[in-house]
Amino acid sequence: MTTDGQAQYRRIDQPAQMQPLLDSLLQAGGARLGLAERPGDAVPVLVQAVSAEEGVLLDVSAVPEWLALLEQGKACVLLGQYNGGQLRTAPLSAAAPVAAERGRLLWRGAYPQWVDWLQRRDTFRATLGLGMRVPVLARRETVRAEGWLRDLSVQGCLVEFAAGNLSTLGEGAPLELTLSFPNGSRLVLDARPRYQRADVSRGLVSQGFSFVACTTEQERQLWYYVREIEREAARGSGGSQTLLVASSLFRQDVPAPARGETLPTAARVPQLSRLARVAAYLDSQILLLREGGVIAPGPLSRQADILLTLHEEDREALLFASHCLHRGPALVRHGIRVAVALLDICLAKGMPRRLCKAVAAAALVHDLGKALLPAAVRDADVLTPAQYATLTSHVAALEAALTDCGWLTPQVIDAVVCGLNERLDGSGYPVGRSGEALPALARLAAVVDVVDAMSHARADRPARGVDVIYRHLLELPAQFDRRRVQDYIQHFGALPVGTLVRYPEGQLARVVRLDITGRPMAVQRTFEDDAANAGAGEVLRGRDLARLGEPRAVAGP
């Protein structure tokens, strides 16, 4: 590998490494044919095939004047582009005479001995191999996400995160990236999120970043890291490159993660991994809505089926898992908790399974329209009249995005999406419906929504305990249907599954299961503010649980 000013030249002579570069020449307009001594005079040419077994097959019908040069053994080369850099093959040598086929002139040459890859230093991207582990921490105020570095250049990088970070990372001002190498070296840079590629099936998202206002010293460090990553990648690729000295950045013996692995999580709760995929789906829908897309009926139907399946397997495990999600936007986690609780009540009431599925689907997405609101409205402690009017627009935005989801039925969308924020006295939104204009399902959905919202802290108020929330709802019969409030209390009890409780000696736990009387029969020890480790504590039952004494509900997620 040599450098010349701002250009880096790398000669590649291993067929396995050459083939991906040569494949780019097969694209329409991807190749030019020129003289090695005058590549600037190259002409477009069609590459029909290129492989180590078959060599190079060119269609030279459009440039017959080049046939003589090729057959004379003139030093002709193929030129193209790959990954932002320029390609140039070794001089081509004939492997067979020119053939005419259906009016076309075909020339076959031997497989190139090597390929030169020329790339400007500031755009060269070094890709990390499977054995190269570099954790990345992304931070912006309260936003924090951990992932793995996939490639690096002087201008930016590609990082793979859990999909729950997709919409959060993709919006707002620049954030701080910390790259931590195995030998202890760290690089801290300001970066701006750019493009995103979601892989919902694997629960991952690749986020591209461009670096912001790098100093001269940071640029020097970046180029050093880029070269060392490229050296280590070349060393691990086989062939003569294995003789390279190992990069000092990767000297520490750190086990390499499997492809697609993300940083360790506390997903040790039954059903949580599958519920996390639903969260990843919702997060991808936020990005889709921001790009002007609509919600497709098929994928939404599949997410609702997942909830139904999880509920059939173990309803309390699903309820508990819904309270253990801690990554991704709050509106996604809120949507899942509301969907799970509303589904649980509807099934208990004996509603048809098809209707329950539609209700769960509508509840999952009911708040996604808020992602389209200006940040000033979403984050405001107190809304001005103008901001409140803007806030109410999220309902219509989501309703429009559900146009293709006819299987939900207009009645379900009207009740769960449009009616959930309305109140009996007409004080709700978006249109201020009241009284009998609100169907029973909308009244029930409003109770479920408010209970979950008040259970979690917001910018303008702290989280409330279950007893406080129940009392609040019962004291406002003009806004909330007392019958639906009582239905909720009777169904979930004084200490619902997932509730954080405190015992007389200060121990904290979350309710995992209830007995037939509504008392906890299993709890999981935890810490009040340790949401990231939800589901990781010891589960207590029987005598161990009895020794703790009588639990008391605690405000907080």
Amino acid 390 reads T
pLDDT category, 267, cuts 50, 70, 90? very low
Q: DSSP letters of 391-436?
A: HHHHHHHHHHHTTT-GGG-HHHIIIIIISTT--TTS-SSSS---GG
In three state form, how does the secondary structure of 146-188 look?
EEEEEEECCCEEEEEEEHHHHHHHCCCCCEEEEEECCCCCEEE
DSSP state for residue 35 in the 8-state scheme? E
Percent of the chain residues past pLDDT 70, beyond the cut: 84
Cα 135 to the center of its chain, rounded Å: 16
Secondary structure percentages of the chain, helix, strand, coil, to 5: 40, 25, 35
Cα 284 to the center of its chain, rounded Å: 7
pLDDT tens figures, 210-244: 899 888 888 888 888 887 888 787 776 554 444 45
Neighbours of 166 (CB within 10 A): 28
305: three-class secondary structure by DSSP = helix
Residue 501 CB contacts under 8 Å (≥ 6 apart), including other chains? 495, 508, 509, 510, 511, 520, 523, 551, 552, 553, 554
Q: Averaged over 172-178, what is the pLDDT?
A: 83
**Residue 228 or 409, more confident:** 409
Residue with the two structure tokens 């019969």? 477
Rounded Cα distance, 266 and 503, in Å: 24
Q: Nearest-CA neighbor of 495 among 534, 529, 467, 527? A: 467
Q: Nearest-CA neighbor of 63 among 95, 15, 121, 105? A: 105
Q: What integer pLDDT is reported at residue 25 of this predicted model?
A: 86
**Residue 247 or 359, more confident:** 359
pLDDT tens figures, 285-299: 988 898 888 999 999
Rounded Cα distance, 240 and 480, in Å: 74
pTM above 0.75, yes or no: no
Domains and CATH numbers, the chain: 2-120 (2.30.110.10), 126-250 (2.40.10.220), 272-492 (1.10.3210.10), 500-553 (no CATH)
Rounded Cα distance, 326 and 531, in Å: 6
pLDDT tens figures, 144-167: 888 899 999 888 999 988 766 666
Mean pLDDT over each residue of the chain, to the nearest integer: 83
pLDDT tens figures, 28-76: 677 889 988 887 788 888 888 888 888 899 888 888 888 888 888 888 9
Tell me if the bond preceding 504 is cis, omega within 30° of 0: no
